[in-house]
Amino acid sequence: MRRNKITIVGAGNVGATCAHWAASKELGDIVLIDVAEGIPQGKALDLMEAAPVEGFDCHIIGTNDYADTKDSDLVIVTAGVARKPGMSRDDLLKTNANIAINVAENIAKYSPNAHVICVSNPVDVITYIIYKTTGFEPNRVMGMAGVLDSARYRTFVALELGISFEDVSAFVLGGHGDDMVPLVRYTYAGGIPIEKLISQDRIEAIVERTRKGGAEIVSHLKSGSAYYAPAASVIQMAEAILKDKKRILPVAAYLQGEYEESNIFAGVPAIIGGGGIEKIIEVDLTTDEEASLKKSFQSVRKVLSEVNV
């Protein structure tokens, strides 16, 4: 029986950690590709040598040649420069856009039937570039943002209440940036609305911390950006696709009239399974929530307008 083949583009912290999570879950054989010679080869070999200890059976190779990625079932794109302190996600646009075009061309050439998950920032726009460049159906291309933003939001809620992280359910809509929209009304702790458990001023503080979650980590690290939680979030999406789990996850999806938006990638809840984005779910929003979401979409469009794809 043929195993799933997973290609991870970029062997930096996010890419290598994606490989780690994917191997630990035995999601398939893994190809780690990077332009830097020796880096993907060394990290792949190091990770595969952990297999006898951890008990996973995945073949993992590192390469600089896209020919080795041929016929991948799933491609995870982490390639690009990381944010530095004081740098916004949008500052990364020009460099990462050029990288994304090259990556997308190689995905289309070697793995024309693959699903693609984009991680590179600014993720909503880079995902759009990959979608346009590959020419893939929109259900096969998505961006990782909502799962990560929701995970950060859920973490902060759990810490506030002193409860298990597992007992908080929530999701975040909109673009992956400072205008993202954590939906407080749809946030629950053990099935209880958090508005009944946490004061309004503390909820507002949690929402603001969520919006600045990535920058907070960058400020601590000084060099580089988050990678454990982003990689875990990607692999949750990957597992939903490869195992056809039909998970409801917030992902950057291509909108075609949903939420009164079209021709844009932005974070919305969707059913993720073997068909990729199988259905976008539209939730009822208040007037204020609609206004916040519209503002977030506008922020994405502003950056998107700077790209000629």
Closest CA to 140 of 108, 164, 172, 102: 108
CB of 33 within 8 A of CB of 7? yes
Inter-residue contact 93 to 306 (CB < 8 Å): yes
3-class secondary structure, 189: strand
How far apart (Å, rounded) are the C-alpha atoms in residues 30 and 100?
20
Report residue 242 as tokens: 């490869």
Point out the catalytic residue in the list 20, 59, 176, 220: 176
The residues, ordered by sequence, that sit 6+ positions from 4 with a Cβ below 8 Å of its Cβ are 27, 28, 29, 73, 74, 242
Nearest to 265 by CA among 216, 213, 307, 212: 307
Q: Could you tell me which of 270, 252, 269 has the C-alpha nearest to residue 124?
A: 252
Is 176 designated active site? yes
**From CA 80, how far away is CA 221, in angstroms rounded?**
18
| Residues contacting residue 98 through CB under 8 Å, at least 6 positions apart | none
Task: List the structure tokens of 214.
Answer: 């990535």
Distance CA 122, CA 106 (A): 20
Rounded to the nearest 5°, which phi and psi values hold at 270?
-150, 155
Closest CA to 173 of 200, 203, 210: 210
Q: Which of 234, 243, 237, 153 is nearest to 198 (CA)?
A: 153
Query: Which residues are annotated as catalytic?
Result: 176
